[in-house]
Structure 1
Amino acid sequence: MTARRLPLEGVTVLDFSTLLPGPLATLTLAEAGARVIKIERPGGEDMRGFAPHVDGRSVPFAMLNAGKEILSLDLKDEADRARLAPLLAQADVLVEQMRPGVMARLGLGWDDVRAINPRLIYCAITGYGQEGPRAQEAGHDINYQALTGVLSQAPGSPDHPATPAALVADIAGGAMPAVIAILLALRQRDLTGEGAFLDIAMSDAMASFAWLAKAQTAATGAAPGPHQGLLTGGSPRYGLYATADGRFLALGALEDKFWARACEGLGLEPDLRDDRRDPQATRARVAAIIRSRDAAHWRATLEPLDCCATVVRSLEEAAADPHFAARGLFRGEAVWDGLAMPLAHVPLPEGLRRARTTPRPVAEPRRPAD
């Protein structure tokens, strides 16, 4: 029987990125078998300072960068840049996350490196892309969601603004599109023999998350207002409801069969079950019923009905859930000088990734040989 091989074995990635989007993308490539060489400035990147720390070591940094080789280089120093030449000539993929034009000013732009290696896949991750009025503008996840209209769909109230719980732009707008584009470009290189420049703008991908609001706009001529969309508060069938003990029930009973089961479990009055007549009246009554009992009651009453009703779990509860434990969802360990830390999860199926049970070491930065 032949030994199992990973899909990106033999692929070398130079990672010039920092913080979350690029490092998560290159971690995903590493988990699929690629050799990732992270280029860090002397003293290390900003993520090394992110809390929490264990014995002076950043757990977020370890989660995102375990299993990578780390080279310490001052890219503003000509001699250090010269040390990159052999790596650039041999690499398959380069990932960078600087503002447009910075790598070019360092002599490491697309035109510079493809002169050295025309087969290189060059992936540039930015907030707003390489060109356009906002290309040089600073931003973070919340800004990209705000400018593209995504936040306007469920902003909370003036008294209680809703900060997004997930870094959607960083991960779903930066890291994952970068991985997809890199894999497609590698396949294209198989066909053409040529490298490619990939312009990944985190804000661009946010348009994908506004698809339903755009459909409503096209159909009615008006965009849904805050909390008026089907999935953002406009339907009593889909949303969060507070329980008597201060927890929440997530209801997603969109289809009629699930809604009927949920109504039975809730004991909702028959005249309110047709939520087309007065959606807000139905929502108010559902909210009152759910608030009358604690989360344990609804977990025991609604979850067995298979009606898309779920008590919101804490992270600790999720990690202990038998289903996720069976699938190894929270498995994966980074080891930094003997200290065990969790490894960031990457959504790759078994068979296309390294075994979750094998710890990934966090390398100390080293200087490349002259």
Structure 2
Amino acid sequence: MSALNEVTILELSERVSGEYCGKLLAEFGATVIKVEKTGTGSPTRRMGPFGKDTSGPENSGLFAYLNAGKQSVELNLDSASDHATLLELLKTVDVLIDDHGAKWLRQYDLAPDSIAERFPGLVFCAITAYGLDADDDRQYAEDLNVFHSSGLGYHTPSGAADDLPPLKGAGRFLPSYEAGLDAALCISATLYERRSSGLGQLIEISAQEVLASRVDYVLGQMIAGDMDVSPSRHTFDLGGPAGIFPCADGFAYLWMSAPPHWDALRQLLDNPAWMNSFPERWMELDCTAERVAECRKHITQWLSTKQKHQVAEQAQQLGLTLVAVNNAGDLLASPQYQFRDYFSEIEHPVLGKFHIPTSPYRLSATPIKTNVAPLLGQHQYSMPNAAQFGEPQ
């Protein structure tokens, strides 16, 4: 039996954050019923990468990943009868997930205070960019906005030049994935508490606050006054030769900040003569732009002929923080991921067979379940009789 086997979730989400939250909970056994717009479905159905072609609601690899293991029903919430059906369904579920925002919720009579009054046992998770009470100009934002307003866009392993365009960050939807993960954890904790109280709660997830919590020590230093608060990317640049370097088969990321790193690099490079002109603690006490440039030049020359995975293994054995920058093929072939069964092969009726990443964590007694994403309206129910909920037509 999976951990959330007896939990039923109604998902109104139409963005990556809410759909990822629902996916994580579905993998641990929750029944997740995804409400989609009649005829068109979720917007993520029209977002790539695509399978055989870009037409039709079943060709999105993104949707297939985010909605694996869910059920799909179509509702037109502008229709009085469908809206009434939604309210009936809320009587039958344990959790409601939404990522639209306060204005949308009020439009469809789903404001948190109203939900709490009518459904006191319901756990309501609202995922937004800046919180439900954000100003009107922040009620909607793309992940790029959230990424930079959190500060994480400045705290990166790449160059700190202020004249370069804003970084996109890791992948396309980092804020959404991080917010969805925190939402899933909060829902799980709230369901556990509900076992004793019998009451639901409102969970409000701000993607900006979630990402700000990932900025680790930098935000703490700013709060403590040990680092200037500034919009300049140089504020977040710790200096030194750390960075991403080209290898013969891709790229590797190197981090150095202390004498043990310098000693490990010397061993890795077989004690080259150019390192003798650098003071032992130059990165801590005398880190000049000239020395950084000289160090990076030699590291670039040396790494350019090396295989990224091989050199990363050698460096780590010496205590040097050097890792390969993985692409999708590297991840699929990773011995660690293969050992953990991180990728599962599934067969979609339209997309065919493909590998899909599973949950980023494991529970030993309650294994995850990985299933195919639903076709649009695949689990349409007899409406509005919610008593038949769970019995496909």
CA contact (8 A) 1:249 1:295 kept: no
Residue aligning to 2:233:
226
Deviation at 1:159, TM superposition (A): 4.5
Query: Superposition pairs for residues 230-249 of structure 1, below 5 Å?
Result: 232-236=237-241, 238-243=242-247, 245=248, 247-249=250-252
* 1:149 counterpart letter in structure 2: G
Secondary structure at the aligned position of 2:116 is classed as: helix
CA contact (8 A) 1:59 1:341 kept: no
Change (3 A) 1:116 1:352: farther
Distance 1:38 1:352 in 2: 27
CA contact (8 A) 1:27 1:65 kept: yes
Matched, 1:7 2:23: no
Deviation at 1:77, TM superposition (A): 0.9
Residue aligning to 1:250:
253
Which one of the candidate residues 43, 47, 51 is aligned to 1:46? 43
Which one of the candidate residues 264, 276, 284 is aligned to 1:276? 284
Identity of aligned pairs, percent?
Answer: 23
Distance 1:301 1:136 in 2: 45
- After superposition, what is the alpha-carbon deviation per residue over 1:227-250, rounded to whole angstroms, capped at 9, x for unaligned? 454xx45233x432344x584321
Change (3 A) 1:261 1:318: same
Deviation at 1:139, TM superposition (A): 0.8
After TM superposition, the structure 1 stretch with the greater mean CA deviation from structure 2, 273-282 or 67-76, is 273-282
Deviation at 1:22, TM superposition (A): 0.4
Secondary structure at the aligned position of 2:204 is classed as: strand
Query: Superposition pairs for residues 196-211 of structure 1, below 5 Å?
Result: 196-211=201-216
Distance 2:97 2:19 in 1: 9
- After superposition, what is the alpha-carbon deviation per residue over 1:94-115, rounded to whole angstroms, capped at 9, x for unaligned? 0011121322321223334334
Deviation at 1:141, TM superposition (A): 1.1
Change (3 A) 1:14 1:89: same
Distance 2:307 2:358 in 1: 32
Query: Superposition pairs for residues 167-182 of structure 1, below 5 Å?
Result: 167-172=173-178, 174-182=179-187
CA contact (8 A) 1:334 1:343 kept: no
Deviation at 1:305, TM superposition (A): 3.7
Distance 1:9 1:284 in 2: 56
CA contact (8 A) 2:2 2:368 kept: no
Deviation at 1:151, TM superposition (A): 2.0
Deviation at 1:368, TM superposition (A): 2.5
Matched, 1:187 2:197: no
CA contact (8 A) 1:11 1:35 kept: yes
Structure number with higher relative contact order (C-alpha < 8 Å, ≥ 6 residues apart) = 2
CA contact (8 A) 1:32 1:352 kept: no
Deviation at 1:121, TM superposition (A): 0.2
The answer for unaligned runs of 5 or more in structure 2 is: 384-393
Residue aligning to 1:296:
306
CA contact (8 A) 2:15 2:99 kept: no
Distance 1:298 1:61 in 2: 32
Deviation at 1:194, TM superposition (A): 0.8
- After superposition, what is the alpha-carbon deviation per residue over 1:268-318, rounded to whole angstroms, capped at 9, x for unaligned? 613424222332344323311122132525654553242221232322123
Deviation at 1:149, TM superposition (A): 2.8
CA contact (8 A) 1:169 1:202 kept: yes
Distance 1:178 1:111 in 2: 19
Q: Provide the aligned C-alpha RMSD in A.
A: 2.7
CA contact (8 A) 1:73 1:80 kept: yes
CA contact (8 A) 2:240 2:256 kept: no
Change (3 A) 1:128 1:317: same
- After superposition, what is the alpha-carbon deviation per residue over 1:310-364, rounded to whole angstroms, capped at 9, x for unaligned? 23232212321222222222335352357223334321215366456x5435244
Which one of the candidate residues 12, 16, 19 is aligned to 1:16? 12
CA contact (8 A) 1:336 1:362 kept: no
Matched, 1:212 2:207: no
Distance 2:366 2:305 in 1: 37
Matched, 1:164 2:161: no
* 1:91 counterpart letter in structure 2: V
CA contact (8 A) 2:212 2:219 kept: no
The answer for unaligned runs of 5 or more in structure 1 is: none
Distance 2:142 2:308 in 1: 37
Secondary structure at the aligned position of 1:142 is classed as: helix
Secondary structure at the aligned position of 2:86 is classed as: helix
Distance 2:354 2:312 in 1: 36
CA contact (8 A) 2:250 2:308 kept: no
Change (3 A) 1:300 1:107: closer
Distance 1:18 1:348 in 2: 24
Residue aligning to 2:364:
351
CA contact (8 A) 1:83 1:368 kept: no
Secondary structure at the aligned position of 1:101 is classed as: helix
- After superposition, what is the alpha-carbon deviation per residue over 1:142-165, rounded to whole angstroms, capped at 9, x for unaligned? 101222333234475324653312
Secondary structure at the aligned position of 1:234 is classed as: coil
CA contact (8 A) 1:37 1:71 kept: yes
